Structure 1
Amino acid sequence: MLVHLQSVLVILLPLFVGFGFKLPQFMLKILDKLLMILVYVILCLIGMGFAKTPNLSNELSKVATYAIGLFICLAVCNCVVMIWFDRMFFRQHHPFEVNQIKRQKIGVADSVKQLMILFVGILLGRMLPEHHLSSEKLSFYALMLLIFVVGLQMRGYGIALRQVFLNRHGLWLSMWFMVSCAVAGLLFALVLPDVSWTKGLALSSGYGWYSLSGIVMTQAYGATWGSVALLNDLLREFAALVFIPILMRRYPSTAIGIGGAASLDFMLPLIQKSGGLLAVPVAISFGFIVNVVAPFLMVFFSAFSS
């Protein structure tokens, strides 16, 4: 158990170390570019690692089937629980200023680009000799650097821990979101006999942080399940880009929640445009909490499953 706790601390430590440094504003744009480069590097490394999987063509079909199944379980459970949350707490008034906006074509293009980088990694993995393929250590170090940069960004953009954890809307939303994800993970395990309940919970605890979930699940269960977690989180991103503006008018909490961990960064501009400035603190609080909890739960649950 002590070893598993150390693994959790190793993943969380860079986030809080980065949060301890306050950088000048001009460096935040550099960090934004560095973060995107790191995401592309990690996606490529995951693809290269997946390319080493025996019977790759069969595994690709398996990955797609499992990822879509996991995504459906998560989408249904998330929406049911969060729509209930909206109806219970916001019956009489809408908490945000709802705006009419156009669909974010640029965001969709970015998501497609990320998916293409993954396939480039698979192609490179198939083309390069075995000794040129990426190692697990390289992926792990890239992930640690990415989490550190995320911590720097949080502090740089003025996210205060007090603001996050005292935001009741964001706190309650994150709690119900995580409960719904856990139910989805158990449902996924129930449907598939070769998936244990702890494995289902681990897979459903990525919360849309694909660059993290892909590597953690790869280390825990192998490249196939790491790719399942990654593709599932990318599907969440696609769905969020389409449905955030639609849901914001009637179900504001659901609109924020479907973005998962990305509500803190990638989806935040879209949330602000569709929900107004009042939606931003809630999205930041929600996104920060699920970003902190995700690595802990993934490592914790994967430690108890085969």
Structure 2
Amino acid sequence: MTILATLGPLLIALLFGYWVNIKVFSPARVAKWLEQLVYVILGLIGFSLGALDNLAEKLLVAGYQAIVMFVLISIISLSGLYLSGLRFGGTHADHLSQEPQTKHSHALIDAAKTIAWVIAGIVIGIFSKDWITGVDELVTYLLYFLLFLVGCQLRQGNYKLRKLFLNSQGVIIALVTITTTLLAGWVGSWVLGLTWNQGLAVVSGFGWYSLSGILISGLGDPVLGTTAFLLDLGREILALMLIPFLARLNSHMSVGYSGATAMDFTLPMLGKFHGAQIIPVCIASGFIMSILVPILIPLLMGIK
């Protein structure tokens, strides 16, 4: 019952946005509102963190957990993706482009803005925690609206599920990435003394830092949410840096390590080093992981 109560409203909001076409929610407005809402929710999560007792200790805990999970995911996931690339015919880059990496810089700027909102929220939370109330409830309602907008964006992207799931390379990469990432989360839960479902939940963002931290924090664990945020942010940044090198080995490594961001943030870099033929693979793999994030995290966090 706890799982249904946690997952149900979030999944309903996501599916409502995906299936129902409301004219006022145009692609431009959805993109703008989604960006602004993410920043607002992250600021509120920062406020919840700032309001915690023994804040410094808990941030150290979140940072340590993120580093351990990050190392495990990098080792286990990249090893699995390397082997799957050898077995299932992953392609490799024939050359390295020397063009300015503007998309790379833009992603890093977005990451810096995201961190700034969280820090601002923490500072406000430290000094105003005694007279501002109801923040957790507000985050929950905003979370429903966020999932609705995510559903709208998936529908407006005109992704045909049948075509995506027929892209064998994209499906293989997604399955290997999901399996190895969850394995890393399970090992990490044992190393860190977390419950198995917490370990799996914290890695189930697959690089989507702006959603994973929000979901876990909104579901009642701001420290673990901070761990997920730091973990996925680090994964996205490192993926952007490693794509030129991983692309020389095989496409499974470069696309898979990019996780859910293969269909958006890291797509320009992947296309640059692998060529246009990699784009359907990236979209298929990234979409499968993206659609699982708002399902897996509430499902796992709802297990008691």
| TM-score under structure 2 length normalisation | 0.89
Q: Which amino acid in the other structure matches residue 225 of structure 2?
A: G
Q: Find the counterpart in structure 2 of residue 283 from structure 1.
A: 282
- Write the deviation string for residues 80-116 of structure 1: whole angstroms up to 9, x where unpaired: 111111111126xx27886624432222122122112
Q: Which amino acid in the other structure matches residue 18 of structure 2?
A: F
Q: Which amino acid in the other structure matches residue 44 of structure 1?
A: G
Q: Which amino acid in the other structure matches residue 190 of structure 1?
A: W
Aligned partners of 2:179 and 2:155: how far apart in 1? 28
Contact 1:44 1:117 in 2 (8 A): yes
1:83 corresponds to 2:102? no
Aligned partners of 2:210 and 2:115: how far apart in 1? 12
Q: Find the counterpart in structure 1 of residue 263 from structure 2.
A: 264
Q: Find the counterpart in structure 2 of residue 137 from structure 1.
A: 137
Q: Which amino acid in the other structure matches residue 234 of structure 1?
A: L
Contact 2:93 2:248 in 1 (8 A): no
Question: How high is the sequence identity, in percent, across the aligned residues?
Answer: 30
Can you give the 5+ residue segments of structure 1 that lack an aligned partner in the other structure? none
Q: Find the counterpart in structure 2 of residue 42 from structure 1.
A: 41
1:292 corresponds to 2:274? no
Aligned partners of 2:93 and 2:152: how far apart in 1? 28
Q: 1:135 to 1:267 in 2, by over 3 A?
A: same
Q: Find the counterpart in structure 1 of residue 234 from structure 2.
A: 235
Q: Find the counterpart in structure 2 of residue 119 from structure 1.
A: 119
Q: Find the counterpart in structure 2 of residue 157 from structure 1.
A: 157
Return 266-275 or 150-159, whichever deviates more.
266-275
Contact 1:86 1:253 in 2 (8 A): yes
Q: Find the counterpart in structure 2 of residue 175 from structure 1.
A: 175
- Write the deviation string for residues 7-39 of structure 1: whole angstroms up to 9, x where unpaired: 223222222222224588x94233222221112
Aligned partners of 2:147 and 2:94: how far apart in 1? 32
Contact 2:92 2:248 in 1 (8 A): no
Return 177-186 or 124-133, whichever deviates more.
124-133
Return 26-35 or 271-280, whichever deviates more.
26-35
Q: 1:168 to 1:95 in 2, by over 3 A?
A: farther
Cα RMSD for the two superposed structures: 2.4
Aligned partners of 2:47 and 2:12: how far apart in 1? 27
Contact 1:198 1:301 in 2 (8 A): yes
Q: Find the counterpart in structure 2 of residue 205 from structure 1.
A: 204
Q: 1:281 to 1:13 in 2, by over 3 A?
A: farther
Q: 1:150 to 1:295 in 2, by over 3 A?
A: closer
Return 154-163 or 2-11, whichever deviates more.
2-11
**Across the two proteins, how many residue pairs are aligned to each other?**
300
Secondary structure of the 1:114 match is helix
Q: Find the counterpart in structure 2 of residue 18 from structure 1.
A: 17
Aligned partners of 2:166 and 2:172: how far apart in 1? 10
Displacement of 1:6 after TM fit?
Answer: 4.1
Q: 1:163 to 1:153 in 2, by over 3 A?
A: same
- Write the deviation string for residues 138-178 of structure 1: whole angstroms up to 9, x where unpaired: 11222222222222222222211112222111111111111
| TM-score under structure 1 length normalisation | 0.89
Contact 2:92 2:250 in 1 (8 A): no
Displacement of 1:234 after TM fit?
Answer: 0.9
Displacement of 1:301 after TM fit?
Answer: 2.4
Q: Which amino acid in the other structure matches residue 118 of structure 1?
A: V
Secondary structure of the 2:204 match is coil
Aligned partners of 2:59 and 2:141: how far apart in 1? 26
Aligned partners of 1:275 and 1:4: how far apart in 2? 41
